[in-house]
Amino acid sequence: MRIRVHCLSPVIVALVIALGMHPAQVTADRVLQTQNGKASHYGKRLHGKKTASGETFNQQALVAAHPSWPFGTIVRVTNRKNGHSAKVRIVDRGPARKARRRGVIIDLSTKAAKKLGFHKQGTTPVRLEVLKWGNKPKKR
């Protein structure tokens, strides 16, 4: 069992030890940027097609589309309704402008939507946390 915390204070370390865990099992993810909005998911109709990054889209991978963050960026997406989260990698551009006007800030693969528990709904409120920036596009 791993516990993610934003601060390794002595109180948290004592609690971890009291739970019978070793402090080395506690990881702290450094959050580089956050964003709040809605998430949607895309899957079957784009499965197997090329993404904007040139990668083939796989609906069973933990991947996502974001309008501006660099490809390869690792993002923790948290469903604000139920607290479920998933780490995804940005591989595409999206959501579409129409969806962005409705507050959708990220499109998730089917696997990521299932992990967050909203694959049967159209959208859900989320919090995005950038954990690692991807590669910046090279100028030609």
Give per-residue pLDDT as tens, 105-130: 999 999 999 999 999 888 999 999 99
Q: How far is CA 35 from CA 5, 13, 16, 134, in A?
A: 19, 29, 29, 17
| pLDDT single digits (tens) 43-99 | 778 999 999 999 999 999 999 999 999 999 999 999 999 999 999 999 999 998 888
User: At 20, which amino acid appears?
Assistant: G
Tell which CATH classification among 3.40.50.2000, 3.40.50.410, 2.40.40.10, 3.40.30.10 matches the domain 31-132. 2.40.40.10
Query: Are the C-beta atoms of residues 134 and 90 closer than 8 Å to each other?
Result: yes
**Which stretches within the chain are classed as H helix?**
10-18, 97-101, 110-116
In the chain, ranges of CATH 2.40.40.10 domains: 31-132
pTM score:
0.76
Do 49 and 69 meet the contact criterion of CB atoms below 8 Å apart? no
